[in-house]
Amino acid sequence: MSAEGHSNSSIRTALKRVRGLGSAKGGTSDFFRQRVSAIGLVLLIVPVIVVIMSLLGRNQAGAAQILGSPLIAIIMILFIIASVWHMKIGMQVVLEDYLTDEKIKLVAIIANTFFCIAVGLASIYAIFKLSSGV
């Protein structure tokens, strides 16, 4: 068998080549996106801690008064988005690295995505509800 025929005999290699998968293809974008979300979280953590500390000991009306500020609500929503995005990427990387069965991996990744969306939407809804005083 020629060297050329031998290199094309692996179906997996050809499939990876067609899909553009392989070493350092998908992992670098996940790495970059997770670092971007981490930078956002680092920038937002101090204002979020200040907001949370100011909410301690307050009733719903007091919390609504603080969160009623558009700037505070925006900071909190940005923190939620960055947190959920960071969580989704991190968990997806773990699932991709440690699950070997492709069907289970696909179901787990889909479940992870829906869970992160649900957490994000519920958290943002709570901020809107508290900030509107309802």
pLDDT in tens, 26-49: 668 888 989 999 999 999 999 999
The answer for residues whose C-beta is within 8 angstroms of residue 89's C-beta and 6 or more apart is: 30, 33, 34, 37
How far apart (Å, rounded) are the C-alpha atoms in residues 20 and 6? 20
Domain assignment of residue 88, yes or no: yes
Is 17 part of a structural domain of the chain?
Answer: no
pLDDT at 4 over 90: no
Structural domain range at position 35? 26-132
Tell me if 65 is assigned to some domain. yes
What pLDDT does residue 12 have?
56
Rounded distance, CA 26 to CA 133, Å? 44
* pLDDT number for residue 25: 54
Tell me, yes or no, whether 47 lies in a domain: yes
Is residue 10 assigned to a domain?
no
User: Is 34 part of a structural domain of the chain?
Assistant: yes
Q: Average pLDDT, stretch 16-27?
A: 55
In-domain check, residue 2: no
Q: By C-alpha distance, which of 35, 42, 44 is closest to 93? A: 35
User: Distance between CA atoms of 94 and 99, rounded to whole angstroms?
Assistant: 8
Residue 13 lies in a domain: no
Residue 85 is part of a domain; what is its CATH number?
Answer: 1.20.1300.10
The span from the CA of 74 to the CA of 64, in Å, is 14
Per the structure, the count of domains in the chain is 1
Mean pLDDT over 95-121 rounds to 96
